[in-house]
Homo-oligomer: A and B are copies of this chain.
């Protein structure tokens, strides 16, 4: 249903990463960004919200970093490895921290369990793209 791959197929120049891998990464990033936005909000509605400050904060960071990374990775015009590679590193780190924190709450809050899974998946996907691009 998402259109990242269809849009990459119409790009008027060549690009040297595999389009399927790139589209998967973009879609994983925007899904992870939104999952973190929803997890922050669900935490805000929990009765034990006062214990979830760290989780909310890392959700907000991870949502912002994944969103920006999805935009930078989506841009193919005049690709600059100097910009993309350190940003993928930062995104991997944000997903790891957020995934670790959500994991601590995953057994009793389902939104944190799903969010942790999504952060792990996004971390792995970004690592694979980084390995391909490096």
Determine chain A's interface SS by DSSP, over half rule.
Answer: helix
CA distance A42 to B3 in the complex (A): 14
**Are B57 and A77 closer than 8 Å at their CB atoms?**
yes
Q: Tell me, rounded to whole Å, the shortest Cβ–Cβ distance linking A101 to chain B.
A: 9
CA distance A11 to B111 in the complex (A): 7
CA distance A94 to B80 in the complex (A): 9
Which A59-77 residues have C-beta < 8 A from chain B?
A: 60-61, 63-65, 67-68, 70-72, 74-77
A interface with B by C-beta (< 8 Å): 1-4, 6-13, 26-27, 30-31, 33-35, 37-42, 44-47, 49-50, 53-54, 56-58, 60-61, 63-65, 67-68, 70-72, 74-78, 80, 82-83, 86-87, 89-90, 93-94, 96-97, 109-111, 114-115, 118
